[in-house]
A and B are shown apart, each in its own frame.
Chain A
């Protein structure tokens, strides 16, 4: 079945540091890939997505590129802020059709940015 593996945290960084969170996936078809973010005490928010190989998703300074050859979708940000402290989830959705399909999530990576 489908699976998503992401690096375990917590990842602790200083403000303005470079952030990378690794994510690799296993899927039978051609999935769409997502990064969701969960701020303390809140639900999940879509951060970015990519729907096909070599697509780059970007939002709020975060970027991730869909790499089919390495089955990866690593999240990067060049200069993090304290407000980026959250748990980040990599997820995939595999060929659900127009009615949609379940998301398969990685285990989440907690990021803590210190001033």
Chain B
């Protein structure tokens, strides 16, 4: 158990819908990262937050957005969903001064 929690574990929705994925980092970790794992694209970095502020952006679609709240949990919002958004979405966290990231169990999203 990494100490990073993600909810829900599974999500099934329809095209055009909007969903919110939630992540709670390990206690004390200020950095939160979101990654997408899909069969065709592999594991890709989406976005990083540090202590509530956006720090880095990767291959994140404009239809996707994220935020980190004062209690340090983070949410990833996916809107106008398409079939191709079906993937496993991971959250990871790290502590100040350390490069090691600890991953949550992921949220498996299926868009029908």
Q: Which of A34, A99, A105, A108 has its CB near the most chain B CB atoms (within 10 A)?
A: A99
Contact-residue bracket for chain A: 20 to 34
In chain A, what residue has the closest Cβ to B30?
A99
Q: Is A43's CB under 8 angstroms from B99's CB?
A: no
Is B68 an interface position by the 8 A CB rule? no
Q: What is the bound-complex CA distance between A51 and B97, given in angstroms?
A: 13
Q: Is B56's CB under 8 angstroms from A102's CB?
A: yes
Q: Is B42's CB under 8 angstroms from A45's CB?
A: no
Q: What is the bound-complex CA distance between A41 and B31, given in angstroms?
A: 25
Q: What is the 8 Å Cβ interface bit string for chain A, positions 47-59, against chain B (1 contact, 0 not)?
A: 0010100000000
Q: What is the 8 Å Cβ interface bit string for chain B, positions 83-106, against chain A (1 contact, 0 not)?
A: 000000010101011111111111
What chain A residues lie within 8 Å of B44 (beta carbons)? 105
Contact-residue bracket for chain B: 20 to 34
Please tell me which one of the listed residues A45, A102, A104 contacts residue B103 in the complex, with CB atoms under 8 A apart: A45
Please tell me which one of the listed residues A46, A51, A99 contacts residue B50 in the complex, with CB atoms under 8 A apart: A99
Q: Is B50's CB under 8 angstroms from A100's CB?
A: yes
Is B17 an interface position by the 8 A CB rule? no
Instruction: Enumerate A87-115 residues with CB–CB distance to B below 8 Å.
Output: 89, 93, 96, 98-108
In chain A, what residue has the closest Cβ to B33?
A102
B interface with A by C-beta (< 8 Å)? 2, 4, 30-31, 33, 35, 42-45, 48, 50, 55-56, 58, 90, 92, 94, 96-106
A interface with B by C-beta (< 8 Å)? 32, 34, 36, 42-46, 49, 51, 89, 93, 96, 98-108
Other than the given A43-B90, A102-B45, 12 more pairs (CB < 8 A) read A42-B105, A43-B105, A46-B100, A93-B101, A96-B99, A100-B50, A100-B55, A100-B98, A100-B101, A101-B56, A102-B58, A106-B42
Ordered nearest first, which 4 A-B pairs have the shortest CB separation? A102-B45, A105-B43, A44-B103, A100-B31
Give me 19 A-to-B residue pairs in the complex whose CB atoms sit less than 8 angstroms apart, sorted by A's number: A34-B100, A43-B2, A43-B90, A43-B103, A43-B106, A49-B99, A89-B43, A93-B101, A98-B96, A99-B31, A100-B31, A100-B99, A101-B56, A102-B45, A102-B56, A103-B45, A104-B45, A107-B42, A108-B43
